[in-house]
């Protein structure tokens, strides 16, 4: 009986991990691979290789006009390439190169442009650009109380997810049959999907932390959280980065982490803000977690991303301690809860956009300056050549201090320096 259940469970896991399911989903959503050149000469249709833009970026290129460029018009007006093969529209390559090998990947065809842009948006909800925009905007314009706890959840979920990846070490879905619409994270391990984890934890935590603290319809908040989660999770299958099993495991793992740590968020936040030894413990804990986890057999973006997340979390936790003692961004008293959303006027929207634009400029400038100072300094300290920054950053001695210092400073400035400047010039 037990042996049969175990065998059935193994078969289910193998079924959910089958890359053919990913390929079917991609074809259903309008993603097709191009045929190799040797098949083209045998009459198989494919994309026009000569017109694909190396470096990606334009997934909606127009169909070439008859008689122009390197192609020629066929009998029915179709465009032929220089080998006499019919060209197809929308042949592109992934938007970003593989972070380890620099490989740009193979060409593919986009038949449904709307889904391509939709799932590109979904996958960006788990990337650095989103984090460096969303968390600060929420801090400066909505609710610093919620944002502090949300960052704690994000750090926990992403740290545990990245560590689990490096322990299990399952590869990405095989290509073929999967089309790699994204290549940047292709060198990382696959199980579980940290995009699915963050795409579950962030919207669900946002709903749990704001419901009853702010007045809004429960159905609206829950619907937005579910839609956010579904979009991020399905986008990773569309991009060819994860199997169905990776997504399910990431979703369930994220729920487990929330179940265990949500009751402790109040304790963690209060400690970070009020305990006299909080700064020392915050720095020691975040650095220690990073050193404990980095046991990669080969370099990938995983180690740097984990250090970046830990550094950002440490910087924001330190900023919350400073803010508490300076009385900056104080939490509203319990007597005024639940909070009422303000009326959306042009002046309010303009003020929020002004805070966001000025704040992001400060954060981007902070990151650029700290990066320019930190990498050469760390390379000099450890005797590592800095002429090739990309290779230098793959050394653990460079990557960890660089990520911690740069993003720790960015996190500190996001919750302390930027609000302090806003208060000084009257923007808060």
DSSP bridge pairs for 92: 108
Give me the catalytic one of 21, 49, 242, 325: 242
Note if 275 is an active site residue: no
Note if 242 is an active site residue: yes
Name residue, tokens 């002046």: 347
Q: Is the dihedral of CA 290, 96, 239, 46 positive or negative?
A: negative
Instruction: Quote the CA–CA distance of 234 and 244 in Å, as a whole number.
Output: 9
Give me the catalytic one of 21, 195, 286, 321: 195
Positions marked active-site? 195, 242
């Amino acid at each position: 009986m037990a042996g049969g259940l175990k065998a059935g469970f193994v078969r289910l896991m193998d079924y959910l991990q089958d890359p053919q399911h990913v390929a079917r989903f991609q074809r259903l959503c309008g993603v097709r691979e191009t045929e190799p050149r040797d098949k083209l000469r045998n009459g198989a249709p494919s994309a026009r290789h000569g017109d694909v833009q190396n470096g990606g970026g334009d997934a909606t290129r127009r169909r070439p006009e008859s008689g122009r460029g390197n192609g020629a018009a066929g009998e029915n007006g179709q465009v032929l390439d220089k080998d006499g093969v019919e060209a197809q529209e929308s042949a592109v390559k992934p938007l970003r190169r593989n972070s380890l090998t620099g490989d740009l990947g193979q060409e593919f065809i986009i038949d449904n442009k709307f889904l391509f842009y939709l799932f590109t948006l979904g996958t960006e909800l788990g990337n650095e650009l989103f984090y460096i925009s969303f968390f600060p905007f929420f801090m400066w314009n909505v609710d610093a109380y919620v944002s502090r706890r949300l960052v704690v959840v994000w750090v926990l979920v992403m740290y545990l997810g990245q560590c689990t990846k490096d322990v299990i070490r399952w590869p990405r879905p095989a290509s073929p049959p999967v089309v790699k619409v994204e290549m940047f994270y292709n060198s990382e391990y696959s199980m579980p999907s940290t995009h699915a984890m963050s795409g579950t934890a962030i919207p669900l935590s946002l709903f749990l932390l704001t419901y009853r603290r702010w007045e809004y319809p429960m159905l609206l908040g829950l619907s937005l959280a579910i839609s956010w989660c579904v979009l991020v999770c399905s986008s990773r299958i569309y991009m060819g980065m994860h199997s169905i099993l990776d997504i399910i495991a990431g979703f369930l793992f994220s729920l487990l982490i929330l179940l265990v740590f949500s009751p402790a968020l109040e304790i963690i936040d209060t400690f970070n803000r009020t305990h006299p030894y909080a700064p020392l413990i915050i720095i020691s804990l975040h650095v220690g977690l990073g050193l404990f986890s980095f046991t990669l057999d080969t370099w990938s973006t995983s180690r740097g991303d984990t250090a970046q997340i830990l550094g950002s979390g440490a910087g924001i936790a330190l900023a919350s301690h400073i803010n508490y003692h300076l009385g900056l961004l104080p939490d509203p008293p319990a007597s005024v809860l639940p909070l009422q959303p303000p009326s959306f006027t042009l002046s309010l929207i303009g003020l929020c956009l002004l805070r966001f634009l000025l704040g992001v400029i400060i954060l981007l400038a902070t990151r650029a300056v700290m990066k320019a100072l930190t990498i050469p300094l760390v390379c000099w300290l450890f005797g590592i050549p800095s002429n090739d920054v990309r290779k230098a950053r793959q050394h653990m001695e460079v990557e960890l201090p660089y990520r911690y210092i740069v993003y720790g400073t960015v996190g500190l400035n996001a919750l302390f320096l930027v609000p302090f400047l806003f208060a000084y010039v009257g923007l808060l």
